[in-house]
Structure 1
Amino acid sequence: MSKPCIICVAITGSVPTKAANPAVPISIEEQVESTQEAFEAGATICHAHVRNPDETPTSDPEKFARLKEGLEKHCPGMIIQFSTGGRSGAGQARGGMLSLRPDMASLSVGSNNFPTRVYENPPELVDWLAAEMVKYEVRPEIEAFDLSHILKAAEMHKKGQIAQVPYVQFVMGVKNAMPVDREVFDFYLKTVHRLFGEDVAWCAAGIGANQIVLNDWAIAAGGHARTGLEDNVRLDRDTLAPSNAALVKRTVELCEKYDRPVADWKTAREILGLRAA
């Protein structure tokens, strides 16, 4: 298989702390340095959250602006994807950084259970976030925690609420949400192809020890892969990941296993239909 594989690195997230793994980058400076290492290792999308000094999550646009500036300087050409996830803020504060015009942003189009809470994405907020992404020419990545989220993305695309053919990421392994199940994965993929075409770009993410499992399934099936310390802080049960770059390198090795070239940033932008850097 010669189809290039895009590697997304989710560098920080809203949950992992330095107590869990000292390599989790919290400050803007740490995030930029960690992303630069991951970029050099083969990642071409940076999925970014920002944190306060006490490690709590935030949607502060000023912090996102500083991170974007640092990434553009030290990782030229890399695709910057901001999170609009619900752990970082409430209501429209979740999209307050979209006016900064990142290349991409995550978009969850439906609600589901998380380990200790309901991940709420009410329809009016989803519609508003999608409208802001259209307004500022930000390509959404649909984070699908459930089959209904893929179908909702198709409905929104048909209505013009999502400008381009949806780029869907299957998220599996979140406790109380969709477990890692190969038959479900295969049906997700079948559904994406049925709704959006056989050549549509898609991605997959696995949580915790399942990160490497979903990397393997996605790369083998012709999709793109997400890795990083947001989703998983270990290389194995006994070994903490020393960096985001280490997790990227592991994903690169899977690409080699399946004869998938790793997409450089120019190729990744072409595949995703993004504007030039």
Structure 2
Amino acid sequence: MTNPCIICVAITGSLPTKDNNPAVPITIAEQVESTQEAFEAGATIAHCHVRDDDGRPTSDPDRFAALKEGLEKHCPGMIVQLSTGGRSGAGRERGGMLPLRPDMASLSVGSNNFPTRVYENPPDLVDWLASEMLAHDVKPEIEAFDLSHIFKAHQMWKAGQIKDRPYVQFVMGVKNAMPVDREVFDFYIHTVRRLFGDDVPWCAAGIGARQLTVNEWAIGAGGHARTGLEDNVRLDRDRLAPSNAALVQRAVDLCGQYDRPVATWQQAREILGLRMVHP
């Protein structure tokens, strides 16, 4: 296969703590250092959350600005994707960082169950987040926790709420949401291609112990892969992951097994239709 694979590293998230794994980067400086190592290992998208001084998730635009500045300085060319996820804030607070004009931002277009709560993404908030992304030239990554989210993304694309073709990420393995199921995974791919075209890029993320499984499915099927300590803090049942870079290297090794070149940041930007930068 000559299709380069984009590797996204989800560096921190909202939930993992140093009690779960001491390698989880919490402060801005730790996140920049961890991302730089992952970038050098082959990751070309950094999916970013920020924490407050007590390590709790926040949507503070100033903290996002500091992280974005650090990543652009130390990881030149890497795609910076900021999270608008619901664990970090409520309502429009979740999109307060979009005027920073990151390359990308996550966009959940529907609600679903999480392990202990409902992940609420009401239609009016989804519409507002999408409009802010359009206004600030931020490409959304559609986080599809359910099949209906792919159809919602198609509806928004046809209505002009999402420009270009959406980049859809299948999120599998969240407790009480979509499990890691190969037939569902294959149907997701079929549905995305049917709705958006055979050559549309897509990505997949596996949560927890199934991260490696979904990485392999995605790479083997010609898609792109997400890894990182946000989704999984272990290499296996007995070993903690020593770094984000170690999880990226595992995905890089899978690319070699499936004859997929690892995308450079220039290739990743071209595949996703992002503006080029000149580090």
- Which AA in structure 2 matches 1:132? E
When the two chains are superposed, the root-mean-square deviation of aligned CA atoms in Å is 0.3
2:104 is the alignment partner of 1:104: yes
Q: Distance in 1 between matches of 2:4 and 2:94?
A: 32
Question: Which residue of the partner structure matches residue 276 of structure 1?
Answer: 276
Q: Secondary structure at the match of 1:81?
A: strand
- 8 Å Cα contact 1:9/1:227 also seen in 2: yes
Q: How does 1:90-169 map to 2 (within 5 A)?
A: 90-169=90-169
After superposition, the C-alpha distances for 1:105-136 in whole angstroms (9 at most, x for unaligned) are: 00000000000000000000000000000000
- 8 Å Cα contact 1:26/1:53 also seen in 2: no
Question: Which residue of the partner structure matches residue 250 of structure 2?
Answer: 250
- 8 Å Cα contact 1:44/1:265 also seen in 2: yes
Q: How does 1:11-30 map to 2 (within 5 A)?
A: 11-30=11-30
- 8 Å Cα contact 1:47/1:82 also seen in 2: yes
TM-score (norm 2): 0.99
- 8 Å Cα contact 1:51/1:57 also seen in 2: yes
Q: Distance in 2 between matches of 1:5 and 1:214?
A: 14
Q: How does 1:209-224 map to 2 (within 5 A)?
A: 209-224=209-224
2:183 is the alignment partner of 1:183: yes
After superposition, the C-alpha distances for 1:200-240 in whole angstroms (9 at most, x for unaligned) are: 00000000011000000000000000000000000000000
Q: Distance in 1 between matches of 2:113 and 2:233?
A: 22
Q: Secondary structure at the match of 2:77?
A: coil
2:57 is the alignment partner of 1:57: yes
2:71 is the alignment partner of 1:74: no
Q: Secondary structure at the match of 2:170?
A: strand
Q: Distance in 2 between matches of 1:26 and 1:201?
A: 31
Question: Which residue of the partner structure matches residue 232 of structure 1?
Answer: 232
State the identity %.
79
Q: Distance in 2 between matches of 1:242 and 1:52?
A: 23
After superposition, the C-alpha distances for 1:46-80 in whole angstroms (9 at most, x for unaligned) are: 00000012111000000000000000000000000
- 8 Å Cα contact 1:114/1:174 also seen in 2: yes
Q: Secondary structure at the match of 2:9?
A: strand
Q: How does 1:34-49 map to 2 (within 5 A)?
A: 34-49=34-49
Q: Secondary structure at the match of 1:134?
A: helix
Q: Distance in 2 between matches of 1:164 and 1:202?
A: 14
What displacement does 1:45 show?
A: 0.1
What displacement does 1:2 show?
A: 1.3
Q: Secondary structure at the match of 1:192?
A: helix
After superposition, the C-alpha distances for 1:180-204 in whole angstroms (9 at most, x for unaligned) are: 0000000000000000011000000
What displacement does 1:168 show?
A: 0.2
For this pair of structures, how many residues does the alignment match?
Answer: 277
- Name structure 2 gaps, 5 residues minimum: none
Q: Secondary structure at the match of 2:68?
A: helix
What displacement does 1:174 show?
A: 0.1
Q: Distance in 2 between matches of 1:137 and 1:105?
A: 10
